[in-house]
Homo-oligomer: A and B are copies of this chain.
Amino acid sequence: MSDFTAQPLDGDPAARVVVAGASGFTGALAAEIVWRHPKLELVAATSRGDAGKRLDRLYPRYRVPIELTELDLENLPEVDAAIVAYPHGAAAPTDAALRAQGILVVDLSADFRLRDRETYERWYGEHGAPDLFGSGVYGLSEIYREQLREAKLVATPGCYPTASVLALAPLAEQGLLSEVFVSAMQGTSGYGRSSDDLVHFSGMTENAFPYKTEGHRHRPEIEQELAALGSPAPVTFVPHLIPLDQGELATCFGTLAEPTSKEAVRALYTKRYADEPFVHVLDGPPNLRAVRDTNECHVYVTVAERGRVMAFSAIDNIWKGASSQGVQNLNLMLGLDETAGLL
């Protein structure tokens, strides 16, 4: 294919960026979004297993023509910021090394999401950079926007917590939630690139199933954030895999601390998200096609017949649920327009 290697930059870049771990689904997308970004220069995209391959060949649906290289922390190219798309556990030590060189870090892994060490260790094992534990800012800009503007290390939320917390935040902030049940569903991009029988097209077409029924590590993350907002409600959570690529729907049932009308609940949501550039409160159920390949979160809330709240949110799990949300965070850290490169 004819090469088209120059990035479509709009003037001088605001930052030079490396994406570490760019051969996986979220890292590759992060590289693509940075490459298309008018103000970020993609200096390198790294991978251990696929070094030497061009990213747009590995992922024909992307444009970024960069060749993957190995990350050498001792001899980094000059960069201002890094997006780290490593597996949980492996990310923290790399983050630490990057921070030690003064580089801004957006971590897409879970390593800096949880603020309780014991909970972290229960779900993820020993932490890879204990000195930094808890020092990341939780990268949900709709809630932590001001802290993110000052942040040097950001923990991009998990995809399910992103969808669930945005679906419930207006209620949680009022202390209204007394118990929460979340049934979520996601496409196979959430399963990651490492293929096996489950996500072989032949196994997944005309199929769907719940998974991690005995406990998913996103549950404590959701509980942590709802509590931080004002509703320390117990959360019961179960995810499902459904036969599509990109998209995630969180269906949240909530019991309310006090009876609240449908109108009052909706007014809370409309007001809460009125100025959010990426959260849209709908007047009917959301659908996944409407958010595919976007950084948007579509929310709908209603009060069901038995007085229980049902709040729905739809995101693209590898965009708003991971990579584009990481870039949204980076925009804030760099003082750029929060929506740059994301509309």
List chain A positions with a Cβ less than 8 A from chain B: 1-2, 8, 25, 58, 60-61, 181, 183, 185, 187-189, 191, 193, 195-197, 199-211, 213-215, 219, 234-238, 240, 242-247, 249, 251, 253, 274, 280-290, 292, 298, 300, 302, 304-306, 308, 310, 312, 314, 343
Contact = CB atoms under 8 A, between A and B. Distances in A.
A308 B181 contact: yes
A327 to B, nearest CB: 19
Nearest to A204: B201
A174 to B, nearest CB: 20
Given A61-B289, A188-B201, A253 B206 contact: no
A310 B214 CA distance: 10
Contacts of A61: 289-290, 292
B306 A234 contact: yes
B185 A202 contact: no
B202 A189 contact: yes
A281 B21 CA distance: 30
A304 B215 contact: yes
Nearest to A318: B202
A213 to B, nearest CB: 5
B1 A244 contact: no
A208 B246 contact: no
A97 to B, nearest CB: 30
Contacts of A60: 287, 289-290
B185 A208 contact: yes
A205 B245 contact: yes
- Counting every copy of the chain, the complex holds 4
B185 A185 contact: yes
Given A193-B202, A210-B251, A210-B285, 13 more contacts: A1-B280, A61-B289, A193-B200, A202-B245, A206-B206, A207-B247, A208-B287, A209-B249, A210-B312, A213-B312, A236-B310, A237-B304, A238-B304
B290 A206 contact: no
A206 B187 CA distance: 8
* Residue of A213, A236, A280 most packed against chain B (CB within 10 A): A236
A151 B181 CA distance: 40
* A61, A185, A187, A188, most chain B CB atoms within 10 A: A61
Contacts of A209: 249, 285-288, 314
B195 A235 contact: no
A54 to B, nearest CB: 12
A245 B201 contact: yes
Contact of A244 (B195, B207, B287): B207
Contact of A288 (B206, B211, B288): B206
B280 A253 contact: no
A199 to B, nearest CB: 5
Contacts of A305: 215, 219, 236
